[in-house]
Amino acid sequence: MQINIHSHFLSHKSKLSSCIENFDTKGILFGDGKRNKIKLFDLDSPTINIKSFKIPNLINKIAYKYFRKSKARRSYEYAANLLENGIGTPQPIAYFENYNWLGLKESYYVSEHLVTELTFRELVEIPDYPDHENILRQFTKFSFDLHEKGIEFLDHSPGNTLIKKVSEKQYQFFLVDLNRMNFHAEMDINMRMKNLSRLTPKKEMIEIMSDEYAKLYNKSFQDVFDIMWYNTCKFQEKYHRKRRLKAKYFFWK
């Protein structure tokens, strides 16, 4: 087992290792655990969140050993990069990688567990959520700041932004599920709008986001809206086509 622990948490090495060794039998399951399994453990005062990634297939076992960084390592390093850039994400604590002669077996990413009021998904599913438009505009500013720093969060989808209320009208945003990111010197408008295309199919939300983004980006509302809405429709079409094909496959199977 290869271990990398943040310098602030080195004194907890023994307990962290114990959590990993007993991952299957201890801890509290968080979420459905269908793909990657997440469990919560107590680390003295903070509650920690340990994500166990699905064991990779044969090709990826080899790739993650010799050619690519594991998802756990990328999650840890990308979290550190986000924090260095002033972008919210749970504090990274450690990552663990277990290899055999063939390649990567298990890998785990450990971070602080944040308890927040909502995710972006609630804004999509509950249109009358209190302070809805204000939260949406602040989220758009958060995404704009991400793009200004050249950070392309490839899993920028409804469940991957945690939202915490910090005062009467102010909110903080935290990205999770971090193993897929690109970093650029700059991002053009098409790349930016495509990065927002997975968040919501609702035109009224796209209009508000376009209005706020246009103000921040010094572009016209229509230019921003047209590109954001085009990319949203394109993503939704691809998403629903994939679901239809999957339904047909399972029907005939």
CA distance 213 to 74: 29
Nearest to 69 by CA among 2, 153, 22, 149: 2
134 in helix, strand or coil? helix
pLDDT in tens, 206-233: 999 999 999 999 999 999 999 999 999 9
Cα–Cα distance list, 98 to 36, 103, 104, 216 (Å) = 16, 9, 6, 45
pLDDT in tens, 197-208: 999 999 999 999
Contact between 106 and 70 (Cβ < 8 Å): no
Q: Beta-carbon neighbour count of residue 133 at 10 Å?
A: 13
Higher per-residue confidence, 102 vs 33: 102
Contact between 161 and 173 (Cβ < 8 Å): yes
Q: Encoding tokens for residue 217?
A: 């980006």
CA distance 204 to 74: 35
Contact between 85 and 104 (Cβ < 8 Å): no
pLDDT at 1 over 90: no
What mean pLDDT, rounded, does the chain reach?
93
pLDDT at 253 over 60: no
**Stated pTM of the model:** 0.91
In the prediction, which pLDDT does 246 show?
65
